[in-house]
Structure 1
Amino acid sequence: MIALGVQPRILVVALRRLGDVLLTTPLIRSLKRAWPAAAIDVLVFRGTEGILAGNDDVGSVVTLAERPARGESLALLRRLWRRYDLALSTQSGDRPTLFSWAAGRRSVGFVDAAGIAARLKWLALDFPVLATGGLHRVDDVLRLAEAIGIPPVPEVVAPKGPMPSGIAPDRPYAVIHAAPMFRYKRWTLDGWQVLAAGLDARGLAVLATGGPADRAYLDEVWTGQPGVCRLDGTLPWPQLAALIAGARVYLGPDTSVTHLAAASGTATVALYGPTDPRLWGPWPAGGLGAPWDAAGTIQNRHNVWLVQNPPSCPWAILPCQQEGCLRRLDSHSQCLDELTVSQVLSAVDAALASPAPARMGASGAAG
């Protein structure tokens, strides 16, 4: 382990989307376990800081616009200059590497194998780590912990806050988060509606969550569904996390909220299409154990059931890791369009049949 003193100041740079920031929390936890008295700050894009709310490992959060003006970036560089004993970049890009190098008296980060910029980064960083593919994002980011000689702690830390009063029903409930960021990760409108009816038939109240920007799409999903209690746009991240933690089961596509649900320990049913779960599958509470397979009908790891539809892929290459069948963000994905409600409900039934201790700690695979 590198020597930093008893109360070091540490900066973690995670300039990515919400789910990526959440999957950086195992690195932050590893740092906090290695240096319990450390003050750990995190640099993120403005608008993603909520995913770190209530995280006891984080001292403060520094934000930057995703497309900042030159003056904002320069001002932040001056503000952070050599302020930290250690700074870690969780990406190999120029901007996060620059902030890591500038902020830390010692710096760690990923570096690509080739290119002029890569050679400069190899020289600039005190602990450069070769950027490689093929690892789950959590395992990948924990390579930074190993590079500085500290034990990796593979625990995703969800936002923490109180359960919102007057929202959770007085009977067991399910949470559905139907809206991913991009169209190509969506399931069908009919699928969600019939699924909600199936949950109701199993004695569960159905709560539907979503962000303010999801309102128009969720109007399409839940119109004519009076039994579904809509909470979209009403809950900050800590309260959303508390609501999901109290659910009997959570269901959602490949989205940051699904990663949050998996980390909370709640029985989580994740609907995956083009995304490769080996790299970006939900990370269960207590760790992944056996890696996700590339494709399967229903796979189970700890408290997560991952549902895919391999036979429907027209190119037989699921997961294709592409932006839908049309290779653009607003594309459909045939593998999700043809995913049946019966298959999803099979995963739900397996999740509901699993006793709470098994959901938190068991591991296995099916399909």
Structure 2
Amino acid sequence: MTRIELPERPRILVVALRRLGDVLLTTPLIASLRKAWPDATIEALVFADTAGILAGNPDLDGVVTMPARRTFAQSLSLAMKLGRRYDLAVSTQSGDRPTFFAILAARHVVAPVEARASGAFKSRFLARAVPVAAGVHRVEDMLRLADTLGIERVPRLVPPAALPFEPRPSSAYAVIHAAPMFRYKQWTAQGWRAVAASLKARGLTVIATGGPAADERAYLDDIWQGTDVLRFDGKLSWGQLSGLLADAKVFIGPDTSVTHLAAACGCPTVALFGPTDPRLWGPWPVGGLSDMWADIGAVQQRGNVWLVQRAFPCTPCQLEGCERKLESYSACLDALAPQQVMTAIDEALGPLGR
């Protein structure tokens, strides 16, 4: 497709009104825009609680934020701020709200559209539309937008700029992030304790990370009570977390934003997957995915990422656990054995794990 025509030094807005991990997965698109228009002013519109994942991103000149739950007055204020301020706006979602803000913000708008009446209506306001494709990895979705713009793909995730942190371990360490956003992505407390003990036996300091929320801290208190684990949960900014992960010997975590971040930082990453389909959401390794993740595999490796599953006949169901709700258990994760996880960890550690 021919490259979309923009004026010299254009102003570009990328709209990504999603969760933390999704926003991180938009960074290949942002990097593609920066390479195509090095003199552009490029900004991102995101929810306020996700802006940290873009901190220090060298491809961005600014981040515009909005509350996830906004009042009418806040929406009106944002609309006035955005109104025709940009030469190009790219919505990374087909939803009404992100598409509306993109159309409001720029003369030229590119966005995904669904194959239904609402998508046809939105297409009237777009310079170029991208048909929504089922069964496509989220990063590939972003790169399809670059194709539609007629620009070269840059298939790499860009983590927040690394910042120093204290106390910095004086010996080799592993990082465990045990808390996903939702219950149905949780592994067992016994599993995490067994993995931490095995890592200690291999001579590694074990660092536990997590967010500052009270319920998450309580969950981690239960997991790590009585263990020899260094707790960093609630203490690090996203930039400090990038610095921590960049030097870790291995990272282990469930399907969550920090696992995607670990992979982007180049850390050997072991990802525990349950109901989620790796073909859509498997971590994106440094260097990209020339061979996409399979839907099922006891241990799969792509670049610096090892993906572990306990496959049931229904795996991956792409549902919210066995009870079809966010607070559900997932039998495939509950049945995942620590030894299977340690097999992947030892592969990731290489000689250190033997």
**TM-score, length-normalised on structure 1?**
0.93
- 1:167 CA displacement: 2.1
Which residue is equivalent to 1:281? 282
- 1:91 maps to which of 93, 99, 103: 93
- 1:51 CA displacement: 0.2
Which residue is equivalent to 1:302? 303
Task: Give a deviation string over 1:25-70, Cα, whole Å, max 9, x none.
Answer: 0000000000011111000011000000010101111111112111
SS at match of 2:124: helix
Task: Give a deviation string over 1:315-338, Cα, whole Å, max 9, x none.
Answer: x12000000000000000010001
SS at match of 2:283: coil
Distance 1:348 1:168 in 2: 22
- 1:100 CA displacement: 0.6
- Consecutive unaligned residues of structure 2, counting only runs of 5 or more, are none
Distance 2:224 2:56 in 1: 31
Which residue is equivalent to 1:185? 185
**One-letter amino acid matched to 1:224:** G
1:321 aligns with 2:318: yes
Which residue is equivalent to 1:228? 229
Which residue is equivalent to 1:199? 199
Distance 1:354 1:140 in 2: 37
Distance 1:149 1:306 in 2: 33
Distance 1:217 1:104 in 2: 44
- 1:105 maps to which of 92, 104, 107: 107
SS at match of 1:187: coil
SS at match of 1:345: helix
1:349 aligns with 2:349: no
CA RMSD of aligned residues (A): 1.0
Distance 2:161 2:351 in 1: 25
Distance 1:176 1:235 in 2: 14
Distance 1:114 1:96 in 2: 17
Distance 2:344 2:26 in 1: 28
Task: Give a deviation string over 1:64-100, Cα, whole Å, max 9, x none.
Answer: 1112111111211111111001000000000000011
Distance 1:43 1:298 in 2: 37
SS at match of 1:212: coil
Alignment of 1:224-303 (within 5 A): 224-225=226-227, 227-303=228-304
Distance 1:180 1:144 in 2: 29
- 1:354 CA displacement: 6.9
- Consecutive unaligned residues of structure 1, counting only runs of 5 or more, are 356-367
Distance 2:328 2:283 in 1: 23
Query: Percent identity of the aligned residues?
Result: 58
Distance 1:348 1:143 in 2: 33
